[in-house]
Structure 1
């Protein structure tokens, strides 16, 4: 499928660009402006170019936490009408990953605090799961699915299965 090739390619490119960009979480001070993630609140992406890509309308990043001991979110960035999420995982087993992602619906529902604002600006959320810097899985969430789940028009099992059906796995 061409969409999967595009998603896989963009996920790999995103992972490459974002590798090592977690300096805000580690407390280290980096002077390399090219590695600065677009997650500050003032819209400055570190290169002097004020950009509205830093904020994701209707999304509370602090609430974007999976209930998982094996997956942790490292980066959240807005690129046009897409939100890109890079997470690390301690497992490469697809069945274990699927089990760990069962809380995805709750996580998305908690993080989208203003569904209308989010839907007006964002079309999809792309996830890349990495293990030791290598992509293990990528998938995406269509915002319409998230809104349907939030509005109780889709069960959590249906939501998670729909999302996992978009997954590309690499071993």
Structure 2
């Protein structure tokens, strides 16, 4: 079951992200983590009011992706942190709901979100293989899913319609309500 492998991978990605976020003791802009994790958002979690990306960037870039444009058209889901680890992107988002139907409906804009954020599809495809999303509510994982960059590019190139794209992504969902 490939889905189980993906879910195990997303759990490892979550552990990596959480390990990198667990220490707020220093405010050093030079991130020299030995695991190669590169944070793309300086938001330290102090702005708990809306959970949105504050638009700041520590200079780390994902080739072909503008992380400032990576925002869902949703009132229930907000992107909290974007990290690059090798050829993978990990996105941590907060949600105000745990209802599976509501979350599924909120994720319908995922294709257009990625389309808006991808600035150079060739560079992104050369550098990144996958994008893992983890949705949290009150610090607990609610849902995790995987986006293969090939699916995103097929969607952008009109080789896959929005329903097919969203269904492919939702088929990788790990729901932990």
TM-score under structure 2 normalisation?
A: 0.78
TM superposition shift of 1:146: 0.3
Flag as ranges the 4+ runs of structure 1 deviating above 4 A.
none
Find out whether 1:10 has 2:7 as its counterpart.
Answer: no
Q: How does 1:77-156 map to 2 (within 5 A)?
A: 77-156=83-162
RMSD: 2.1
Q: How does 1:27-46 map to 2 (within 5 A)?
A: 31-33=26-28, 38-39=39-40, 40-42=57-59
5+ residue gaps, structure 1: 22-29, 43-53
Asked if the contact 1:15–1:86 (Cα under 8 Å) also holds between the matched residues in 2, the reply is: no
5+ residue gaps, structure 2: 32-37, 41-56
Of Structure 1 and Structure 2, which has the larger fraction of its residues in helix? 1
Q: Which digits, 9 at most, give the CA deviation of each residue in 1:148-171, with x for residues without a partner?
A: 000000001110110010010102
Asked if the contact 2:13–2:90 (Cα under 8 Å) also holds between the matched residues in 1, the reply is: no
Partners of 2:58 and 2:138 lie apart in 1 by 29
Asked if the contact 1:15–1:128 (Cα under 8 Å) also holds between the matched residues in 2, the reply is: no
Asked if the contact 2:6–2:172 (Cα under 8 Å) also holds between the matched residues in 1, the reply is: no
